[in-house]
Structure 1
Amino acid sequence: MSYKVIVDSCGELTPDMKKAGNIFTASLTLNVGGHLVVDDETFDQADFLVRVARCSECPKSSCPSPEAYMKAFEGEEERVYVVTLSAELSGSYNSAVLGKNLFLEEHGQKDIYIFNSRSASVGETLITKKIMECEERGLGFQEVVNAVETYIDGQNTYFVLESLETLRKNGRLTGLKALAASVLNIKPVMGATKQGVIIQHGQARGINKALAKMVDRVSEEIVSPEKKTLGIAHCNCPARAEMVREMLLKKLPLGDIIVLDTRGVSSMYANDGGIIIAV
């Protein structure tokens, strides 16, 4: 049985995924002061971060259209899986569902399933990895869907950013109490609910203390770490990501750790220096 996975561009791809030939990107579009950036293989993170720093307006993103998803479902593959960022944070999931409905109306039956990651960034990466593993084991379509949905139910996402302004100005922090003043160098430790809504776990003074607190939180909540693959995504800060990786390995006997740089959407929201963990 042939299959393909379509990951919206908030999800980072590993080198193996890029080489696989059946993992594709549904690109979001970024808007920095009227300058449009398509979040595909041409994305230039360094140029993007400079543009964001120089622009007085908050950057925004727009999700792939239903028609773009519909076109992505075409092809010889008998099974199609889609992984989108949390439906609570973007219209990407709903757009993919509409695209599926349009495709089925026009082309008839095909096995297509849309996964709401209830996460973002490297959380989507790990879900894609799980789909690939299930397919390689020869599971049936519904068995893959069930196994991956169970995996999503058990996944947790955490992040510490230099600034939450982009998230706040784009309405992604609704319902949160007022966050600590940045003048005190207080860095919140953030996460996501099981529904994919952003929440605050705690805070610390200074980025390194906040990262250490995030690692402590991961250590407290993780179950059977030796069986888990943990993902770290960083926005233009490989040394910081490596520091977090070493902190995690000192505390946990993890099965594997994937470290990736953020693509466009994650770079926009994480901002320069942000760290995201999914497990």
Structure 2
Amino acid sequence: MSFHIVADSCCELTADMKKRGNIEIAPLTLEVGGESILDDETFDQKSFLRKVAECPECPKSACPSPEYFRTAFLNGAKHCYAVTLSAQLSGSYNSAVLGANLAQEEDEDLKIHVFNSRSASIGETLIVKKIVECEEAGMSFERVVETVELYISTQHTYFVLENLETLRKNGRLSKTKALVASALKIKPVMGATSEGDIVQLDQARGINKALMKMVDAIVNDAQHVENKTLAISHCNCPERAEMVKEALLERLAVQDVFVLDTQGVSSMYANDGGIIIAL
């Protein structure tokens, strides 16, 4: 096996990625009301959302250990890559870097690079897709790293959430201006900065208006989309994701598009009804 990719479980995998055999998910652990839930293939979104809704405390997540990453890297592949949540939002990146250092102490010839996605969810998915494309094009390890890092610097992530409580309570919105009271049904349109922090881009009254403002923001930012993939993930709202997809495809001629359901970490932060988009 020439290359191996380890992505933390905020990364949603496509059906094709799951079949490949050389893309591994490093699960985060979710904690809801004293119960620990491993964010792996056993994750049950509907059950999880119900537990979150019933629990007065805010759910939390714990990143995979450096030891998990170390073992994942020592799998016989010549080139290893990790893709993690934005380092501004999670300890997953630092854990993977430490795991890479430990693995390279055991095998000095092993080539490992940890990509800070500066994103989350399907932002990570698109980075995994880009690594696969580069490796299959026969690029050297160094060229893959250079190409994918450049890609990350041009990628944009956007989201509109029905409920911001988890982000707010877990301190992930600390750098965002105070949000208008939810009693007014104001929904902020959020995005990621180039460093991977969360920022408010716009707002609207009502979720559908906010989604259309997000579409406007994506179209305004979009460049050279004929070579890009549009990725959408949703938390338990496929019809809403389809509506946003159609609105974007009317205005952008992208190369490809896919829609995925959120896994555990993304479900925890996006909450029921959230939409995340990366391009």
TM-score range, shorter chain: over 0.9
Q: Structure 2: how far apart are the matches of 1:146 and 1:22?
A: 21
Considering only aligned residues, what root-mean-square deviation do their CA atoms show, in Å? 0.8
TM-score (norm 1): 0.99
- For 1:44-193, what aligned pairs fall within 5 Å after superposition? 44-193=44-193
- For normalisation by structure 2, the TM-score amounts to 0.99
Match of 2:273 in 1: 273
Equivalent-residue separation in structure 1 for 2:264 and 2:26 (angstroms): 12
Residues 60-112 of structure 1: CA deviation (Å, up to 9, x unaligned): 00000111111111111111000001000000000000111111123333000
Q: What per-residue deviation string (whole Å, max 9, x for no partner) do you get for residues 166-192 of structure 1?
A: 011111111211101100100000001
Aligned length: 279
* 1:196-233 deviation line (CA, Å, top 9, x unaligned): 00000010000000000000000000101211101000
Once the two structures are superposed, residues 19-61 of structure 1 have per-residue CA deviations (whole angstroms, 9 ceiling, x without a partner) of 0010000000000011100000110101100100100010000
Structure 2: how far apart are the matches of 1:164 and 1:196? 18
Alpha-carbon distance in structure 1 between the residues aligned to 2:35 and 2:107: 36
Give me the whole-angstrom Cα distance separating, in 2, the residues matched to 1:109 and 1:256: 36
Alignment partners' CA distance in 1, 2:255 and 2:125: 16
Mapped to 2, the partners of 1:175 and 1:155 lie a distance apart of 21
Once residues 278 and 73 of structure 2 are traced to their aligned partners in structure 1, the CA distance between those partners, rounded to angstroms, is: 27
The answer to whether 1:211 aligns with 2:211 is yes
SS in 1 for 2:106: helix
TM-aligned CA deviation for residue 164 of structure 1: 1.0
1:159 counterpart SS class = strand
Matches within 5 A, 1:9-20: 9-20=9-20
Percent identity between the aligned chains? Answer: 65
Cα distance in structure 1, aligned partners of 2:246 and 2:138: 35
Aligned to 1:238: 238
